Amino acid sequence: MAVGARVLRELALLEEVAFAPSHVVVGVAARGTLVVGSTAEGHYHLYALDPSQKVLRRLTRQPVHLLARAHPASQTVVFTRDVSMGRELSKVFSADVKSGMEAEVAPDVEPQRIAGLAFDGKRVAWSGATREYAAAFLAEPGKGAEELARLSGREFVTDVNEKYVVGFGSLRGDPFSMELFIIDLSSRELHVFTPREGSTNVAPKLRGDTVLFSSDYADGDKMRLYTYSIEEGTLREVDLTYRDMERFDPTEFVDYGWTEDGRVWAVAKRNGRTKLFVDGREVPTPPGFISSAEVHEGAAYVVHSSLRSPPRVLSIDLETGESRILVDNRLSDEVSRRLGDVRFAVVESSGGVKVPVFVLESRVATKPGPAVIYPHGGPWSEVADSWSPMIASLAVLGYHVVAPNFRGSTGYGQKYRKMDIGDPGGGDLQDVVSAALWAVEQGIAEREKLAILGYSYGGFMTLTALTRAPDIWRCGVAGAAIADWREQYELADAYFRRFTEILFGGKLELMEERSPITYVESLKAPVCIIHPQNDTRTPLRPIMRFASKLMEHGKLFELHVIPGVGHAISLDRRSLLQFLVYAALFLEREMRAESRG
Ligand code: 4NP
């Protein structure tokens, strides 16, 4: 096939991958209405789903951003909406699940970055940050809002009831720990709770005056589920009737909650795959990853995907274990055929660190063949056996994808997760390089055809790898990257200032040494930079300065700004497709040509 025809064919396949929707189970509202967030129509919207009818009914007129869990006694759902063209300044809204009628919940509160949102059927609570400050808020639809407590920036409200607002975050100022907070709504006092100083405690859920949360306090590594009675001040490990979850020995949880009769359900994670448990008993789910779930009246509703299969909404009968597809997501034969085997391996890196790596091979590449090393964002995130439009696209285009869960990744225990604190762009860079060389040794990647592509922290890793390990790469694609920590810190709001302070473990003097802009001269491979114009997490301005320096030093690069959108490009599939198309055309030129120059 002529090159032009092949490229056009591949762009059509990218469109299919970019528009394969993502879904989130938001919960069950009144009358058993399942509420789902979905990009089914290209933008992220709220939908109602009648489990017997299997059709998504759109509830929102404008796109949404963050969704609060629905409440089974309420006909209202609560969500945030970006009112700033992607700058992530949001306001809180409610919508009626029957009529779709919307209302603003707190018209008097200024737009802010909202990172935690909860709704108990009556009250709405959230944590928000502006450039100046961060705080927890409480509102009742129609009754106005009030600020409950000032916070330091990286705290998340996770639940509310008539007596308390609860959440978690960095309340001791210790970058290596996370504590729970409990705001008593009668006294407005904020209490900090931790079972052990230095431990990691996350995502408390309320039932009366008891919170269910996960914590690593027992062994300082693996998360386990606990309840804490606020009134009695007593802490207990969750007592489960069945032992399946204990045998699974999870490292972390995706989500958990109570059934109506007070049993605990949980989606537990180990080595990039999940299992669902109710009262400790496994409920059968397909191999891969459950990214969101709700359990209601004898059924579980989950979003399931894997690296090879896009997200579907399933319901599972808790008694029979039978599952039904409520929202399907089918790829064309042409796309499916191109997605190859999934491999999970553990790669030894510097200092004996063991790095878990997921590989998605391409069926349309030779072996060894052209490969893309894909460092994920976060950095406290991971590549699991879970659908990723970027990874799937690269495999469809004919690149083997190697995704290292470098030190600092989630999913492998808290000791591993905390290894990047005080060392971003240090040990994690070694892990990315180790994974690339391993892929060559394994006969997956051709030594001369190693590219690196990442988004956000993954974009930072890409620029870091291209400048500080310049001899490895044929080329690189940096999406929404960090080029200059110092300038980014100066532009940040209260949330991202705190985030950066935690990530650097307080050692902000490391910022110059760990910034790609310091090493522009060392760059050897061509780089493709793609950046959302209105990004407020990884702002464009430092990237423009980085590009000017590339110009001054005569480096080969391309620069694309995606206009009018913010950091979360996956919420707008057209912008995601734009990113994938720029990356595809660049990789086509740099990777397919037999020789450069
Ligand atoms: P992410 O974005 O990778 O999409 O989560 C980030 C934005 C800012 C920082 C890290 C990641 N930061 O450290 O400032």
Nearest atom of ligand 1 to the alpha carbon of 488 = 14
Please tell me the predicted confidence (pLDDT) of residue 5: 87
pLDDT tens-digit readout, 273-329? 999 999 999 999 999 999 999 999 999 999 999 999 999 999 999 999 999 999 999
> Which residue CA neighbors atom 4 of ligand 1 most closely?
456
Which amino acid is it at 198?
G
| Residue 523: CB atoms within 10 Å | 22
Contact in structure between 226 and 195 (CB atoms under 8 Å): yes
| Residue 453: CB atoms within 10 Å | 28
Active-site entry in 456, 484, 493, 572: 456
* Beta carbons within 8 Å of 421's beta carbon, 6+ residues apart: 175, 176, 408, 502, 503, 504, 505
537 Cα: distance to centroid of ligand 1 (angstroms):
6
Please tell me the predicted confidence (pLDDT) of residue 519: 98
> Which residue CA neighbors atom 13 of ligand 1 most closely?
500
Please tell me the predicted confidence (pLDDT) of residue 594: 60
Nearest atom of ligand 1 to the alpha carbon of 457 = 3
Please tell me the predicted confidence (pLDDT) of residue 592: 84
Per DSSP, the three-state class of 377 is coil
Please tell me the predicted confidence (pLDDT) of residue 1: 67
- Name which of 551, 440, 567 is nearest 84 in CA terms: 567
Nearest atom of ligand 1 to the alpha carbon of 377 = 3
> Which residue CA neighbors atom 7 of ligand 1 most closely?
537
pLDDT tens-digit readout, 444-481? 999 999 999 999 999 999 999 999 999 999 999 999 99
Contact in structure between 38 and 23 (CB atoms under 8 Å): yes
* Dihedral over alpha carbons 446, 448, 451, 452 (to 10 degrees): 90
Residue 520 dihedral angles phi and psi, to the nearest 5°: -50, -40
Whether the bond between 204 and the residue before it is cis, its omega within 30 degrees of 0, is no
The answer to whether residue 333 is catalytic is no
Please tell me the predicted confidence (pLDDT) of residue 6: 86
551 Cα: distance to centroid of ligand 1 (angstroms):
26
> Which residue CA neighbors atom 5 of ligand 1 most closely?
378
Pocket of ligand 1 (CB under 6 A): 377-378, 456-457, 488, 496, 499-500, 503, 537-538
Structure tokens at 491: 């532009």
CA 182 to chain centroid, in Å, comes to 25
Distances, alpha carbon 364 to alpha carbons 8, 394, 401, 505, in Å: 16, 11, 12, 44
CA distance 459 to 465: 10
Contact in structure between 389 and 455 (CB atoms under 8 Å): no
CA distance 299 to 93: 29
CA distance 44 to 573: 9
> DSSP assignment of 111-172, as one string?
PBEEEEEEE-SS-EEEEEE-SS-EEEEEEETTTEEEEEEEE-S-EEEEEE-SSEEEEEE--S
356 exposed, middle or buried (CB, 10 Å; 0-12, 13-18, 19+)? buried
pTM: 0.97
Ligand 1 binding pocket mutation candidate from 537, 571, 579 (most atoms within 8 A of CB): 537
The answer to whether residue 99 is catalytic is no
CA distance 466 to 477: 10
Helices (H), 198-242: none
Structure tokens at 124: 């709405």
Residue 456 dihedral angles phi and psi, to the nearest 5°: 65, -120
- Name which of 76, 79, 101, 80 is nearest 91 in CA terms: 80
The answer to whether residue 456 is catalytic is yes
Rounded to a whole number, what is the distance in angstroms from the first to the last CA of the chain? 24
- Name which of 356, 526, 383, 370 is nearest 455 in CA terms: 383
Distances, alpha carbon 272 to alpha carbons 286, 391, 409, 486, 580, in Å: 14, 15, 11, 33, 25
CA distance 26 to 23: 9
* Beta carbons within 8 Å of 108's beta carbon, 6+ residues apart: 144, 145
Predicted confidence pLDDT, tens digits, the chain (597 residues): 677 888 899 999 999 999 999 999 999 999 999 999 999 999 999 999 988 888 999 999 999 999 999 999 999 999 999 999 999 999 999 999 999 999 999 999 999 999 999 999 999 999 999 999 999 999 998 888 999 999 999 999 999 999 999 999 999 999 999 999 999 999 999 999 999 999 999 999 999 999 999 999 999 999 999 999 999 999 999 999 999 999 999 999 999 999 999 999 999 999 999 999 999 999 999 999 999 999 999 999 999 999 999 999 999 999 999 999 999 999 999 999 999 999 999 999 999 999 999 999 999 999 999 999 999 999 999 999 999 999 999 999 999 999 999 999 999 999 999 999 999 999 999 999 999 999 999 999 999 999 999 999 999 999 999 999 999 999 999 999 999 999 999 999 999 999 999 999 999 999 999 999 999 999 999 999 999 999 999 999 999 999 999 999 999 999 999 999 999 999 999 999 999 999 999 999 999 866 443
> Which residue CA neighbors atom 10 of ligand 1 most closely?
457
Please tell me the predicted confidence (pLDDT) of residue 597: 35
Please tell me the predicted confidence (pLDDT) of residue 595: 43
536 Cα: distance to centroid of ligand 1 (angstroms):
10
CA distance 185 to 162: 7
Contact in structure between 311 and 331 (CB atoms under 8 Å): no
